[in-house]
Structure 1
Amino acid sequence: MSVERPVPHQTVTKYAMRYWELCLPIRRGVRTRFEIDTRALAVLRISLGLILLADLIHRAGSLEVYYTNAGVHPVSLYESSYSRYTGLSLHALSGDLWFQQLLFVVAGIVAVAFIVGYRTRLVGVISLVLLISLHARNPAVLNGGDRLLRVLLFVALLAPLGERWSLDALRRGRARSKVVGFATAALLLQPLVVFTQNAILKHEGDTWYSGEAVGIALANDEMTILLGNALQEYGTLLEALTWGWVFLLSGSILCLWLTTGWLRVCFVGIYLSAFAGMLVSMSVGLFPFVLAASVVPFLSTPFWNTLARLVPSSRANWRPRAATLGPLARAPVERRVLASLRERGYDSAASFAISYGRSLLTIASVLVLVWMLLFAGTHASDYEVPAEIDSPHLDEQRWGLYTPDPSESYGWFTVEAGFENESTVEAFEGGDIAADRPPDAAAEYDSFRERKYLEDVRSSGRGETNGLIARNYADHACVRAVDTHGEAVETVTVYRMIQSSPVDGEYEDPRPLTVIEWDCTASEPLDE
């Protein structure tokens, strides 16, 4: 009696189907962890737009000082320093105040369009271009929060930020509830890269993984504000906060990516609480706001559904009528072009254009993922990438805030004006130069941007760069001193006052460090 043997291709199909069934739960689990609720994307878009607006408003207060030829960073200095940014700034086309004001107004209008979701990706790209241009115009006033903002905005633009709660969605007349793909993977991995890399770099120090770092960081009076000043008396609490922050950084993949549902929402709430604590404790600029925006995509569907149930049904179901949108109610021009092609019988051309655009976006998302992981990994491991792909414009995945250890000293700046009769006074306020430690070193600066700029002045004055930043600041200080005192100023001397952390509760005397001595009459350093 003969036994019927299976055909070879049937055996292959059988095993393939079995393999597919076994992998299905894994694929479903991975997909679930890379899915983003489109309401979270809408909140991310609104958050980024509001941060852009708030940043513009904050910078507008010192627009003339940092972005015009009448300030400390004229166009000539832009062209001579920070060569990696040369040619990247539209703001450097003119050093006139009116030109900077015009660009600020344009950036503000585009940010508002981004918030309401009108041509979201287009206005988002314009916002990114203007942001890079603004950053390149004067890199001396930037910190890591500014860099994280432009990186997060760049990555976020790959995702469909205008899918919900936007004018774009109203014009389409439909919206997806969830999206998943390489773009969402990049967006979710970006904060994990920041946190994990920072945790690895902190491990190279001695204080973070011993529970001392937050106490040392808050003893830096130059950076500590509000709640941070009050916490310095509670050593046990500071140790607990140190370990808590280390856990959030090193465990971010476990807490945010591997979790789902309400557990993930709870962890997002913990991270947001930590960023709020940073906001009211440390003068670190945009960092807390951008970090908070970066974890918003992790808020899962159960959270948004619960939130929706708290909104009255009349408001939840409200939609503006097409007539109220006026010209904005028309479909986007690219959709009208595709519709016209189909009407004329060119269905294949329209389908090709759609598939080509989607494929291009997918390829871009994959490249961003590679860029993100490659450069972040090399920075955390001190491994040098091949010269063929190394670029100062691409290598932005460096997240080393307070690494490997927070500084155990801090300082502030003092500018001394000298007159023809050899008397000296404080250049900008008058009176004698105060040698004592100020009651609040953070209050010595108008803003964190002034602190960052003066740090670059110090580096430049000590010969760590080409010296032009310190020279321009000293020249500007001469003009300010004359305006303050109403008489000719012969010399200006910029000091960095160094204050070591207290030993057994007592401070040592501040130590002055001369940054630059400047001859106002000859516009050159005194030692030349």
Structure 2
Amino acid sequence: MASGLPVPRTLGAVRPALERRLGIDARGLAAFRIALGCLLGYDLLLRAGDLRAFYTDSGVLPRTTNAALYPTLSELSLHGLSGELWVQAALFAVAGVFAVLLVVGYRTRFVATVSWLLLASLQLRNYLVLNGGDTVLLVALFVGLFLPLGERWSLDALGRRSGTTRQFVVGFGTAALLSQVLLIYTTNAIFKLRGSLWMEGTAVRYVFALDRFTVRLGDFFAGIEPLLVAVNWAWFGLLVAAPLLVVLVGRARTALTAAFLAAHVGMFLTMELGLFPHVMVACLLVFLPPAVWDRIERLLSGAVRQLEGRLTTAEGHPRIPFGPSLPVSVRRFGHRIAPAATATILVVGLLWQAAAVGYLSVPNDSPVDPEDHSWKLFAPDPPTTDGWFVADADLESGETVDAYPHADTGLDRPPDVAATYPNTRWRKYLSEVRGGGETERRAFAAYLCRSTDGPVESVTVGFVREEVRLDGPNPTEYVHLGTYDCPAVGR
């Protein structure tokens, strides 16, 4: 048992069945840890290309603007202490080192805690570029803090003086992690039930008609209508069946988990959804039963022994020095509060999502609406409009030039709408600019004023809105978002 209160022994014969369903193989937790560490590093590499644009005072969201939009949350960000590029680069480098340490499992709990704090700080520095995958990653890593992620396949395991290791972990912590995945799928299914396009079987057709999302193989499959209709119902069926991920055991659970894994790999191959498919694959690893990990361990046994040989001395001692990363009193306190903390995570998660789908009432004066922070991925219906940004700059010379920094765009439809957004974070940010208020738009205009070559007097920002129609040509409409004087908004 670990990371939470054990299942009460008074349940008698029911107890083993509950443990089998709510527990996680220690090797599954190790794979989960490795995947999270890799994702943290991958996320940093993706963000690094826009380090100046998204995280410095010369970018699209200076600290003053972030403070105006999120006065409380912005104060909690370590990344918000400075708007200089070198400071952000240093924080990225530190986070990268801790991501590597998490992968190898060195002082795992301490490293995971620091990694979570750095990730939360980074996300709070620019909330406008976040999507569902970022939230899942933050929540998954937080729940992982209360689980023995370094029990297997880690430097911690090699340095452990005791020869005993737990093969199976069960408690409130494992239940909380498993429930987070189920809540994502189940609440999304409930929202989709309340829509019309999913129930008509056309939702996936609309998703693949949105050029700003489709990439790689997505353009090829977009024209195969029968396949998209089949995928519509197959994915909805999987969402409805998600609770079976806990109910089933053995080969049945393996098969259902494999179906979800295949679905998320398919998402990655066809759509640009940020970290979402990657982090869901990481979370699904903990559902694989021990028999799967037995097979994987046998396949990797040779490589594991070779790696262990390089990391240990001839006497079997680790080459890397170990010692307690935290004082004993702190670690004992952490062990005492872990059951209560993980039980709270479990209950709060259930209540929050119940409120989000309307099963629990929320006071009218509540500062936060759970529905606004729930798993509504393409639900209740996917968007039925596409589009691209247009920005023009008027120079002091009287010339008008294209100010949009990512592509040569105009009123005519570009050959590839997705190519006008360099990555998913720019797409999300520009979506927030389009749907946001004057504060977001002025900050974007100021960025365009600074990034456009030549002395710029003003910039005009617009969006060409394209209505998606499955049975005919898509009409377009130009939406004027504003004209801004550069000296007024700041160069």
Offset at 1:72? 1.5
Trace 1:321-340 onto structure 2 (pairs within 5 A). Answer: 322-323=312-313, 328-332=320-324
Cα distance change of structure 1 residues 357 and 488 upon mapping to structure 2, 3 Å threshold: closer
Separation (CA, whole Å) in 2 of partners of 1:210 and 1:76: 46
The correspondence for 2:473, drawn from 499, 502, 506, is: 506
Offset at 1:84? 4.5
Partner residue of 1:247? 237
- TM-score w.r.t. the length of structure 2 is 0.90
8 A contact 2:460–2:482 mirrored in 1: yes
Q: How many residues align?
A: 478
Separation (CA, whole Å) in 2 of partners of 1:190 and 1:432: 42
3-state SS of paired residue (1:401): coil
Amino acid at match of 1:240: A
3-state SS of paired residue (1:233): coil
8 A contact 1:198–1:401 mirrored in 2: yes
Amino acid at match of 2:228: L
Separation (CA, whole Å) in 2 of partners of 1:222 and 1:330: 49
Offset at 1:176? 1.0
Separation (CA, whole Å) in 2 of partners of 1:293 and 1:403: 23
Amino acid at match of 1:103: L
Please, what is the CA RMSD of the aligned residues?
Answer: 2.7
Partner residue of 1:381? 358
Amino acid at match of 1:406: P
1:475 partnered with 2:446: yes
1:424 partnered with 2:424: no
3-state SS of paired residue (2:320): helix
8 A contact 2:110–2:325 mirrored in 1: no
Partner residue of 1:188? 178
The correspondence for 2:462, drawn from 479, 487, 495, is: 495
Offset at 1:439? 1.6
Offset at 1:177? 0.8
Partner residue of 2:225? 235
Offset at 1:91? 0.4
**Structure 1: stretches of 5+ with no match in the other structure:** 1-19, 339-349
1:306 partnered with 2:295: yes
Partner residue of 2:5? none
Offset at 1:36? 0.8
Separation (CA, whole Å) in 2 of partners of 1:431 and 1:264: 46
8 A contact 2:159–2:318 mirrored in 1: no
3-state SS of paired residue (1:284): coil
Amino acid at match of 1:368: I
3-state SS of paired residue (2:391): strand
Partner residue of 1:209? 199
3-state SS of paired residue (1:497): strand
Cα distance change of structure 1 residues 503 and 189 upon mapping to structure 2, 3 Å threshold: closer
Separation (CA, whole Å) in 2 of partners of 1:520 and 1:131: 34
Q: Deviations over 1:10-58 (max 9, x none)?
A: xxxxxxxxxx89x533222111101111000000000000000000011
Q: Deviations over 1:361-408 (max 9, x none)?
A: 1111111111110101100126444699x6759999611111110111
3-state SS of paired residue (1:226): coil
The correspondence for 1:519, drawn from 455, 475, 485, is: 485
Amino acid at match of 2:455: A
8 A contact 2:312–2:319 mirrored in 1: no
Offset at 1:458? 1.5
8 A contact 2:386–2:468 mirrored in 1: yes
1:367 partnered with 2:344: yes
- Over 4 Å off, 4+ runs: 312-318, 324-327, 390-397, 420-423, 428-433
3-state SS of paired residue (1:113): helix
8 A contact 1:425–1:433 mirrored in 2: no
Separation (CA, whole Å) in 2 of partners of 1:150 and 1:523: 34
Query: Identity rate of aligned residues, in percent?
Result: 39
Cα distance change of structure 1 residues 332 and 323 upon mapping to structure 2, 3 Å threshold: farther
The correspondence for 1:456, drawn from 422, 432, 435, is: 432
The correspondence for 1:294, drawn from 274, 283, 286, is: 283
Cα distance change of structure 1 residues 52 and 374 upon mapping to structure 2, 3 Å threshold: same
The correspondence for 1:174, drawn from 148, 164, 172, is: 164
Separation (CA, whole Å) in 2 of partners of 1:429 and 1:75: 22
Q: Deviations over 1:281-332 (max 9, x none)?
A: 1111000001111111001111111222334558558634644876734342
8 A contact 1:73–1:138 mirrored in 2: yes
Amino acid at match of 1:516: G
3-state SS of paired residue (1:319): helix
Separation (CA, whole Å) in 2 of partners of 1:112 and 1:214: 37
Cα distance change of structure 1 residues 314 and 322 upon mapping to structure 2, 3 Å threshold: closer
8 A contact 1:209–1:246 mirrored in 2: no
